[in-house]
Structures are given as structure tokens and as C-alpha cells.
Amino acid sequence: MAQSYGRKHLGTGDEVIISAMEHHSNIVPWQMVCDEKRAKLKVIPITDAGELCLDEYERMLSDRTKLVAVAHVSNALGTVNPVREMIALAHQRGVPVLVDGAQSASHMPVDVQELDCDFYAFSSHKLFGPTGIGALYGKTDLLEAMPPYQGGGDMISSVSFEKTIYNTLPYKFEAGTPHIAGVIGLAAAIDYVEAIGRKQIAVYEADLLAYGTELLSAIPGLRLIGTARAKASVLSFVVDGIHAHDVGTILDMDGVAVRAGHHCAMPVMKRFGLPATARASLAFYNTRADLDALTKAIHKAIEVFA
């Protein structure tokens, strides 16, 4: 998508704006296309709480800005970004906005028309579906203006040695044999989440987040990384004197699964001066008892390394 958009819209000196809390998947493609088109990548700074500096973002928008690409929810911090406001500010200057919804699609209601985003992308495996598939929403006029990024299969209407005529949307971007099994699995996952209800999921997970934040904040030597006022159900933390990988190992021995590392968000770790964090990602299948077990296991890890 980045390659296709860049070919059409980017030139020397043009700018793409991303944030300092992006997943690598929303950094590397834009670096690649900016290198190819001699464009510039600009980064919105974040506060110590892990919130975007909106005043700085507004100042960064200019006539050279050709796209804003920002995460709806940070995978490393849990921050829920004010994407509706960011989109409105960008649109005042005629700048389209891509929202990375990988971390939001399964946790909260999302209405792309209400947001008025120009592109919205999410991945299946974050939505309890199969790996290797996802979805990209885009406004018709932008998608029609973009050239295909792959050739073959159903992306053509007719082919001759003189000229190939591309198919209509969405087939123009769906070259080759579709990931049929993945599509069926993703549809089942979406039906599953919709049956539970995204609003209900958001309310339940907010309660878990509040409870978990209270428990972990009371642990001596533990520091939560990402304390934005608007957060999704992510508890990312470090413990004084213990590497995050060691914390994760002790927790694993107690049957508590967290992820430890840079979470494919190395610039975020650099911003906070950390090599890694331990991250407990909460979903609607978790309970308060799980958070009690997490807290107990963290105390055990502290005792082990005391």
C-alpha cells in the first residue's frame, strides 16, 4: 500500500507524518517509499505519559505533507490516540490520513465513516483470526488514483501485449489467488467478536485495566510505561534491577503469559530509555483473578532477584 500510494502522491521534499509510538510495520514501509521518492519522514513527539503532542502535530502539518499515518492504539503503551481530532486537523489542509487499527479493531467499536479516515488497516491475528491476512479500507477516489502494487490474477480486466487494463476496485489490489481459507477464518473471527459486542468488550476491558493498574502501581520498584489518560487494556511495565526478559521468564514459570521485549516498537523504547518492557495484554477472556495471579508472580520475581 505504501509503495502504491508513494508512486502516485510523493515526490522530492514531500512529507509523510507518523508518530513516535508506531509499530515497525507503520515505520519501515514509509521509510522505504520516502527513500525511493526522496521524500521526508516526520515524527510526532510523545510526552512522558505516552501521549502524542497534538500542538506539535498541528505545527508539523504543511503544504508539503502528503499523508499522515498513525496508530489508533499503541501496542507498546496502550495509548488510544485522538485520531478523530487528528484526521480533522489534517483534512483542514487537504491531507489524507491512514489509521493503523491493528490494536483497536478487536477492543473497541470502529466506524471509519464517523472517523472520516482515508485509509484504515487491521490484521486478522489481532482479531483472534488466522495469520497472514488482514484488511485495508480506503476511500474510493484515493484507491482509484493509486496504481496496483502487484500484478496477475484478478487484478486485470483485459491483457494484450500492447496494454493491460486494470480491474475495478477492490480487485485491482487483489492479485493472484486469494487467501481463501484466511478470508473465511477472518470472517468467522469478526462474527465472533461482533456477537459478543465491541461496546461490551470495551467496558469490560476498561474495568480490567483499572483494576490491573491499581494492583501494579502498588508494587514497590515497578513502573508502568504508558500512563495516558486514554488507554486500551495494556499494562507495559519495568521492575527496578530486573531485565524485562527475566521478569517474563519467572512469570512464565508461574503460568502467567506476558510478552517481554521491544514489542516491534524500538523507537518507543528509545524514547523512554529502556531496552525492553514486560507487557500484559488484557482481553475479554481475562478476569480479575488473572491480574491477581500476575501481581503475585511479579512479587515472586522481585523476591527471586532481591
Instruction: Please give the torsion angle defined by the CA atoms of residues 73, 79, 81 and 82, in that order, rounded to the nearest 10 degrees.
Output: 130
Question: Active site includes 264?
Answer: yes
Q: Would you state the cell numbers that stand for residue 291, as one nine-digit string?
A: 491480574
Length of the chain: 306
Cis bond upstream, residue 82 (ω within 30)? no
Angstrom distance (rounded) from CA 269 to CA 74: 12
Q: Give the number of C-alpha atoms closer than 13 A to the C-alpha of residue 57, restricted to the C-beta side.
A: 27
Catalytic residue of the set 34, 53, 117, 264: 264
250 three-class SS: helix
**For 148, which DSSP code?**
P
Angstrom distance (rounded) from CA 86 to CA 223: 29
Strands (DSSP E) contained in 178-267 are 222-224, 234-239, 259-261
Residues belonging to the active site: 264
